[in-house]
Structures are given as C-alpha cells and as structure tokens.
Amino acid sequence: MKNRERIDRLNAEKQLPHGDWAALFSDWDEDDRAYAAELARGITTERFGNRVYFRGIIEFSNICKNDCYYCGIRKSNRSQTRYRLSEEEVLLCCREGYRLGYRTFVLQSGEDPWWTDERMTDLIAAIRASYPDCAITLSIGERSRESYQAMYDAGANRYLLRHETADEAHYGRLHPAEMSFAHRIDCLWTLREIGYQVGCGMMVGTPHQTPETLAKDMELLTAFRPAMAGIGPFLPHGCTPFRDCAAGSVPLSLLCLSLTRILLPDVLLPSTTALGTASSEGRIQGILAGCNVVMPNLSPQNVRKSYMLYDNKAGTELSAAEGLALLKNQVESVGREIVVGRGDHKAFRKDQCND
Ligand code: SAM
C-alpha cells in the first residue's frame, strides 16, 4: 500500500493497523508529509475555523526529583540554577496573563516535592477564586490518585502528562530504572477517570526511537483519545547524558502532528516551543500542519533561562507581552487568528464560559 492510501485510510477509519503505521514511518517522503499536512489543515479549519487558542505557561519550579536522560532540569544537572516561584509570584503571572487576554493558565514544573498537595491545592484555589472564567491546566508530572483528585476538586481542569514513548523498552532507555512506564500510563488513565481533560504525547527523534516505537505512540493516541496532544522534537541539552545525540527532525515532527490531527479531529494540538526552537519557522509550520494551540511563556523573565529543558530554548528573552505579540504575528501571517477564550475540548464544553 502506498503512503497516501494509508493516510486516506487513517482519515476514513480513524485507526491504522500496526504494520501500516510502522511502514509509514519507515518510508515516507516530503510529498507524503505535504499530503498529510493539507488534509490535517482542512480538518482543523473545518472544526475550528481560523481560530488558534493561546495558553500562558507558567514554569513555577525547575526543581525536579527525577533524572530523565533527555531533560535539562533533571536532578543530576548540578550546573542548573534552581528556583521556585511563590504563590504570590504565580498569581502575578496570572494577573499579567489575564490582562493580556489569556484564559488558560498552564502551571508546569519539575517534580518538586516542596509542592505538596496542600500547597498545590491552595495555589489552585487562589487562581480559581481570582479567575473563575479561566481554565487551569497542570503539568507537574506523576502523583497519586488522591493528589490528582484533590487538585481537581480545588479547581484544576486539565492535565498534561506526555507519555514520552509508548514502547516500554524504549521508555527504559530514556529514563532511569526507578521510573516506570506502567506508572506513567496508569497516571494518564487515573486523570481521565477523575474528569480532567488529559493531554499525552511524545518527543519525536529521541535516541533509540524507531518506526516501530512511533507506531506504538500513534496506537496509544488511538486507544487513549486524549483531549490534547503535546508532540515536538527532542532537542539535546549539553548537561545531560544525551548531549551528543542528534535533534529530532522537524519534518518528522510535522508529519506526526498532521497524522494526529487526522486521527483525532477535535484534539487540541499545540505548535510547541521545541518546534519553534528547532526552526525559526517551526511554529508556523506547526500551524500549517494542523496545530490549533500556541503556548507563549508567562513565567517571570528572570527565571526563564533557568527552565532550559534543552539548549537555546525559544522565547526566553521576551516579556509576556512581546512573546504574545510575536506569536500573534506569526499566526496571522498564515491567515489564522489568535482568539481569547478557554478553548476547551469539544467533549468538555458545557458552560457559557467556553467557546
Ligand atoms: N515534570 C512534568 C512531567 O514530567 O510531565 C512536566 C515538566 S517536563 C520538563 C515537560 C516536558 O518537557 C516533558 O514531558 C518532555 O516531553 C519535554 N522535554 C524535556 N526535555 C526535553 C528535550 N530535551 N527535548 C524536547 N522536549 C523535552
């Protein structure tokens, strides 16, 4: 079967047999990528019109107890200056974000044990009280069911937890032995059961990734049907074990994004910072490949350079207003429009605040 036929079949059936995914990833070319992008763009326009949602990401701690081999804020990176924002500082970021039109705040951090359930729920409740019309997204890693439940009850709505790779052996080559693939996947299902809008996703081009492991990633997306999917290229960081590894390919990342849009037409799909770092046109290309979300940085400027997941991370020099203005221009240059609104997944739109 030719790749175009595989892409058409994916569009019609919203799934592919494992062998077809693997064959597609082993032997695709620029024509296949452009074909998938065109189809994905059409689906995005049909579902969302010209609208692109923007979410403000607040990187509130770079302290992490984990030692993921790819990540610049891994605990063993002793050359990284560590910081933790206070609740007041996070609220100031939200205030500036709200003024600029943000209606989703994404709280992201390393797995920082100082942020106990009590502290997290206090923070979430404070944001919820001040901004009842905003969505609160968490991206703070693996926690217990009780913790996820308490944070949901305090007012969090969404949770981003990339699965990173859906192949257990591959997962074991990206993480130290104390980290468990099974636990990460369990967390995703627990979050779903509690009622969060859940996002999973993978890095593209991590060391030891193969067409087979990517096929498993697409199968996980097929089975889990996330509300959001975070997909971007792996980029090396000079103070990690993967410092000498090649960066993930931008075209392959774009292909994965387009295939994800075709598979899950309503998914909220960010054009990621990693894509914008790998190529100056990356964010625009992501939009043209079917993305409908951008996540500008709302963190205080003095800490941005300390949240270096990979080298040369984009957007660390700009203020919140400048970063948003730049993305707005990029999005508008391809005929799309950044809209103010929570931008919930279709399955979760149930009150007048959502659009
Ligand atoms: N600690 C939380 C977690 O584990 O989900 C959230 C923070 S973590 C730094 C956010 C994401 O950054 C990870 O899920 C991973 O996919 C991405 N990331 C980390 N290092 C990266 C790298 N070198 N290149 C690209 N993405 C990276």
Residue 253: Cβ within 10 Å count: 27
Q: How far is the CA of 1 from the centre of ligand 1 (A)?
A: 35
Ligand 1, residue 70: give the atom nearest the CA.
23
Residue 1 is predicted with a pLDDT of 78
Whose CA is closest to 59, among 125, 177, 113, 140?
Answer: 140
Ligand 1 in reach of 202 Cβ (< 6 A): no
What average pLDDT does this structure show over 203-209?
A: 98
What residues contact 149, with CB distance under 8 A and at least 6 apart?
194
The band of 352, judged by pLDDT with boundaries at 50, 70 and 90, is very low
Whose CA is closest to 108, among 169, 64, 167?
Answer: 64
- Token reading at 115: 């942020």
Query: Model pTM?
Result: 0.97
Contact 45, 14 (CB under 8 A): no
The band of 341, judged by pLDDT with boundaries at 50, 70 and 90, is confident
Number of residues that make up the chain: 355
What residues contact 46, with CB distance under 8 A and at least 6 apart?
265
Residue showing tokens 């429009």 = 337
Whose CA is closest to 235, among 70, 79, 77, 75?
Answer: 70
Residue 187 is predicted with a pLDDT of 98
Contact 114, 82 (CB under 8 A): no
Residue 354 is predicted with a pLDDT of 39
Ligand 1 in reach of 164 Cβ (< 6 A): yes
State pLDDT tens for residues 127-158: 999 999 999 999 999 999 999 999 999 999 99
What average pLDDT does this structure show over 269-297?
A: 96
pLDDT at 61 over 50: yes
Ligand 1, residue 237: give the atom nearest the CA.
23
Whose CA is closest to 202, among 241, 132, 252, 242?
Answer: 252
The band of 350, judged by pLDDT with boundaries at 50, 70 and 90, is low
pLDDT at 39 over 50: yes
Residue showing tokens 């959001």 = 228
Dist. CA 253–CA 204, nearest whole Å: 6
The three-class DSSP label of residue 198 is strand
Ligand 1 in reach of 40 Cβ (< 6 A): no
Whose CA is closest to 71, among 291, 214, 272, 245?
Answer: 245
Quick one: the chain helix, strand, coil %, rounded to 5?
45, 15, 40
More confident residue, 1 or 249: 249
The one-letter amino acid at 242: F
Residue 184: Cβ within 10 Å count: 19
Residue 86 is predicted with a pLDDT of 98
- Beta strands 203-204 and 197-200: pairing type? unpaired
Residue 340 is predicted with a pLDDT of 85
What average pLDDT does this structure show over 166-189?
A: 98
pLDDT at 224 over 90: yes
Domain architecture of the chain: domains with CATH: 3-10+20-343 (3.20.20.70)
Percent of the chain whose pLDDT exceeds 70: 98
Residue 331 is predicted with a pLDDT of 94
pLDDT at 353 over 50: no
Average pLDDT, the chain: 96
What average pLDDT does this structure show over 32-61?
A: 97
What average pLDDT does this structure show over 87-114?
A: 97
- Token reading at 149: 């439940």
Ligand 1 in reach of 237 Cβ (< 6 A): yes
Ligand 1 in reach of 288 Cβ (< 6 A): no
